[in-house]
Structure formats: C-alpha cells, structure tokens
Structure 1
C-alpha cells in the first residue's frame, strides 16, 4: 500500500538542537543510541540504519549519498531551510513534543510551530527536578508538584515518564515517611547543584502521584519502554512490569502509552494492549532505527494481537530534522507492507486496510489526545 498521501500525526518526538549545540555533536551521533566516543567514531556508521539513511537523505537533499557530501550540502542550508525540506517530505499534520530531552540545548516549541502545529508533552521527572530547589519541605514540594499538574497546563496534552531509564518499570508503593527521608537527601544534593532524581522510592512515589492526577483528568501518560541508551537496564524496561499499575483501579482513567514499540518486547506490549483498555502503543525509535526486516517484523508483532485502534505512528525524532523524514518514510512503508500482508492473509479486506492506515497514522492519536483540530 502506498500511504504517502496520508498526513502523519507524530505522537512522540523531541525538539531539534540549537545550531550551536548541533555543531558540538557529530552528525552520526543522531543515528545511534550509544554515546561512547568509540561507538560514534568507529561503529555507528556500520549499521543498516545509517547506510540506508545516507541514501535516503542524499536523495532528499539532491546530493551524493555519502556522509561528507551530505554534511557539505547541509552546511549550504539554514536550519530553517533544512527543517522545512524534511518536514515537507514527511507530510506531517502535527507533532507532540516531549521537551525534556537536553533542555539547555534545544530550540523552543514555538520555533517548531513555524513548520507544523505542535502540542506539548510534559516530562514529569523534569518537572520534579525544576521544583526541588524551590521547595522548603516535601509537603511544600508536593503542593507545588500537584499544582503544576492539577489541572494540567493548557498547552499540555499528555505526560511523559522516563522512569524506565532511572530505576525501571517495576514501580512499587512508597510510604510518605520513606518519601520524606529520601526527599531530604535529594534536596540536599540539589542545593549542591545536582538536582537529578535517581532514587527509586522517590521516583516511584512521584510517578504514582502523577498517575492519580492524570487519571482524574483522563490524560494520556507516555512511558519509555524497551531499548534506549546505556543509562537504561533493558531487563527493567519490559512493559510487563507495569501490570500492577494497569490493574490498579486508581489509575484506570489514565491511558498508558508504551513508547518505542517496547522493542524487543513488542509481543509483550501487544498483549498488554489487547487485554487492558487503557494501554496504547507506538512505533517510535524501532522505526526507523531497526533494519528494514526488523521494522517489518516488529510492526507485525505489534499487530499480531493488539487492536489496531491502539497503535499510533510516532518518530522519537530528536537532534536533527532528517530523523523526522526517515521515520515518516519508513513508518508508512512498513505499515503499508504489514497491511498488504494482512489483506493477502485475509485478516483484512482492502477497504479495512485503508481504514487501519488512517487510524494508525493519525486517527488514533487525534482521539486519544482529544485533538479536534491539528
């Protein structure tokens, strides 16, 4: 199926880097989840994703498909020109942006608005880190934290948690006394210039507070699941760890959005979406970072059991605008291939496949985030 005419609603992505920040990062760093200098210098260019992407970027920018030729062509364009070319090629109707990645190095949301409508996703760990130095006690901190989420800011359509990166998805209840003791240590560290929250009990405590408020306001909450950079313990990023939260009636009003196809736990994610009404999935990061066969296999695995009303397009694009284009190209391609296969297998009729494509590429996200106009 050719899905190029269907506009995309990207339900999870990140801000582009400021030019001065981008100048400090090698181009190929955007094509790997690794950040060790040896990975970037000697290995990131030897992946299916990177080699395939060079050809596709070269075609988009009308230059030779080599890293040096692409760098030369990029230097001839302003960031605005390059972004416009990539976003136009991606045919997007809107983006939901988590602006909690590299906050000091990124362009603001309104900069992105010149190309496409943008909605904000609020990263709750960053919110907590912003508030800790202003608080006089845990009670005072919680009052500020809850006030920032109840009601959610007018520009926020969903929350985002990176607890999988910090301590994993096996979230447990925490008593107020335990939280108070952990908060005192964290606040002391924050006053010394280190506000990053890494204590499991405190992370769990604050996530559960956020989930209660999200449930009250029927707000989607996005969770990093599956693979990522080396800060993450992949064993603890399996979405099956979320089952106690999914079973808890207090959080039923919040939709749990499992990001990144939960790769390599795509089947587990598909199962959760098939049995819990408030669980949703997206394609991001797995598309476009995997090989072509890997992307196709992962999308098929998500759709083996999960209702297609639960699957949404997303890119997880960040740093450079080319990632938006590459994710759009392969999101449409692998979904189209999966739907072609479903028609051949008699799982769907051709008309039903068209309906699924529209739902996955924008319809499901419009409904979930209550976006009447984008």
Structure 2
C-alpha cells in the first residue's frame, strides 16, 4: 500500500456502536455475518479471512492467526482493551453513529467516543422516533404533528436522519408526501394493530419529516440482512423521490448500495443533492473492494462519494473496513497515476475527499 493511502484520515459517516460483553465463539461468529442464523463456519468467508489478516496483529498475533487463537487472545486482553486497540488502528477522526438498533446491547455514544479516541455524532433513525411517538399514546389525529415535534427535539444535536424504508417496505412506494388525511387514517389503523412501523403511508410520512428537518437524510440501500427484499432496495427505485426532493435543499445520502452501486453513482451524477457510499460491501467482499470502488467511481462526481464502515457490534468491522478502503484507494487511484490518467497530487486530493473531506462538508463536521 502506498504511503499516502496509509495516511488517509477517515470520517466514518455511517456506523453503529460495539458490544460491551465478552463474546464466545458463537456470539462472535454471529456478528461476522448479516444472516441471523449463519450456515456453516462464519470464519470461512472473505470477512473471516480479513479479520484474521488485519486485526490479529493489532492484538499481538501473527497475520492469519487461526480463529481459535484469535478468540483466545481477544478474551485474554478483555473486550475493552481489544476495542480500544482496534478502533484506534482505524485512523478515524470522527464517527457518525446510528444508535437506533439494539442500543441497549451496545456501548453508549460517549463510551464509543472514549474507546475510539475520536468525536462521535448521532444519526437519528426516523422509524425509531415514529414508533416511540406511537407508543406514547398520542391520538391518531395528532400523530403527524407529534412526530414533527418529537423529531425536532431528538435531532437538535444530530448531524443526520436515517430511514430504513428498504427494510420495512421497499422503495416501490409513491415518492411524494402523503396527505394529512392518509396519515391520520394509517395512524388509526396502526394504533389498533400495533407492532413495528411497516405501513407505507407512515413510512413515507416519517421520511418526509426527515426531509423537512433539512439535515442530510440517509437511506439504507442494497445489501443487508434478510429483513429486506434486495430487489426492492435498488436505489434506482428512488429516482422519483430524488426528483421530488431536488428543490428542498435537503441532501439525500444512499448507504452501501452494493450490488447497485453503479445505479447509485448515476443518481449522484444526475442529482446535485445526492451522495452515496459503498460501505458495508467493502467489508464483506475482501480483496474485491478495489473493483467495487472502481465501479462506483466510473460515473460519480468525486465530491459525492463518502467513506463508511457500517460496522455493527464488532470493533473488528471498523478496522477491516478502514483497511479495505485504504487498500482499494491505493489500487484504484494509484492505478490512475501509473496509467497517466491523473497526477499523484490529484489522486491524493480525491482520496482525501472521499475518506473524510466530503463528509466534513456535508455534515458540517469540524
């Protein structure tokens, strides 16, 4: 890896916190996959190889140490020490954290900041706020206004909102803002049935409430766990929504995107308010991360691509993602220099933009 890639400082614009408990082999393995019940040995994967390659030396083991040795050393050090070492090795200047998933099982935001040695800012999950409002006992007729008020309160110190529409329904919904009567009727039905928020009208209402806040709105797209239908998480299905939000001034940020990262790159190319990343994918595809990054850069303006890990639960995922990004940047952008497609100072500038500069500007991170 070239020196300039190793020195890149990262702003991880979308990630989650890490578990605090000591993990046995089964619990650790479960966090190595998006599958809730992994088949076979989860170490037998690109990610399993990457953890042994990238993380073992940080815990004083040789590269490619066997899984049993890795887990034994992790337990010997203890989870807090392992977490601090692994997060420090990422070279991150800031973490923007969605803490709306299993928050009780994870390190709090202040604790994560201390462990990482970097500032942490919150990304507020829209569906979590909507469900809290519904549980508060608000009347269906008052639900729409109550969500607006609660979201304003919850995002007062946040840097972004996030929607998991892809998980709860899919992007094949009308792109416009639902009418107040539609929202009231859907809220009345939800009050009778309960459960998690899955009604497409209420999901659209929550999404548009996020747009109205004016903060960047992140949307999970593409690869994820089995809760979603992958073909309904293709970001190209958001084209009409991008048209509808073009005049609002609110940035739309497409997360992960793989295997639809070329579609996301097109959206970022044609809509000035759209950004995207290929996080999560770079963690899971191993040495193929360079190909994913190269494909993302085929169309995308360099100022619209962001770095993220989407790490959840394991601090190892932060480090694997960081190393995969730096290696991919060195291969792809360094290749441009080798082929005389760009000067070295230009690729250094572009790499720094993607690593953190674009996120600093978008989210106003100091």
Give the TM bin, normalised by the shorter chain. over 0.9
In 2, the alpha carbon distance for the partners of 1:259 and 1:233 equals 16
Matched position secondary structure for 1:95? strand
Question: Where does residue 189 of structure 1 map in the other structure?
Answer: 193
Given the alignment, which residue of 264, 274, 278 partners 1:279? 274
Q: Say what the alpha-carbon RMSD is for the aligned residues.
A: 1.9
In the comparison of the two structures, how many residue pairs are matched?
A: 358
Q: How big is the shift at 1:78?
A: 2.9
Give the structure-1-normalised TM-score. 0.90
In 2, the alpha carbon distance for the partners of 1:70 and 1:330 equals 20
Matched position secondary structure for 1:280? strand
Runs in 1 of length 4+ with deviation above 6 angstroms?
none
Equivalent positions of 1:72-111 (< 5 A) are 72-111=72-111
Q: How big is the shift at 1:180?
A: 2.2
In 2, the alpha carbon distance for the partners of 1:106 and 1:87 equals 15
In 1, the alpha carbon distance for the partners of 2:343 and 2:228 equals 41
Residue 258 (1) aligns with residue 235 (2)? no
Residue 342 (1) aligns with residue 336 (2)? yes
In 2, the alpha carbon distance for the partners of 1:66 and 1:128 equals 45
In structure 2, relative to structure 1, the CA distance for the partners of 1:18 and 1:142 (3 Å cut) is farther
Equivalent positions of 1:41-120 (< 5 A) are 42-63=40-61, 65-114=65-114, 115-120=117-122
Question: Where does residue 121 of structure 1 map in the other structure?
Answer: 123
* Post-superposition CA distance 1:58-85 (Å, at most 9, x none): 2221225111111111111232211210
In 2, the alpha carbon distance for the partners of 1:94 and 1:128 equals 27
In 2, the alpha carbon distance for the partners of 1:348 and 1:161 equals 37
Equivalent positions of 1:178-257 (< 5 A) are 178-190=182-194, 194=195, 196-211=196-211, 213-214=212-213, 217=214, 219-249=215-245, 252-257=248-253
In 2, the alpha carbon distance for the partners of 1:159 and 1:270 equals 21
CA contact (8 A) 2:20 2:80 kept: no
Deviates more, 1:92-101 or 1:81-90: 81-90
In 2, the alpha carbon distance for the partners of 1:368 and 1:185 equals 38
In structure 2, relative to structure 1, the CA distance for the partners of 1:316 and 1:249 (3 Å cut) is closer
CA contact (8 A) 1:227 1:263 kept: yes
Residue 317 (1) aligns with residue 308 (2)? no
Q: How big is the shift at 1:182?
A: 2.1
In 2, the alpha carbon distance for the partners of 1:48 and 1:249 equals 38
Which ranges in structure 2 are unaligned for 5 or more consecutive residues?
none
In 2, the alpha carbon distance for the partners of 1:308 and 1:232 equals 29
Matched position secondary structure for 1:16? coil
Q: How big is the shift at 1:6?
A: 2.0
CA contact (8 A) 1:252 1:278 kept: no
Deviates more, 1:125-134 or 1:343-352: 343-352
CA contact (8 A) 1:246 1:252 kept: no
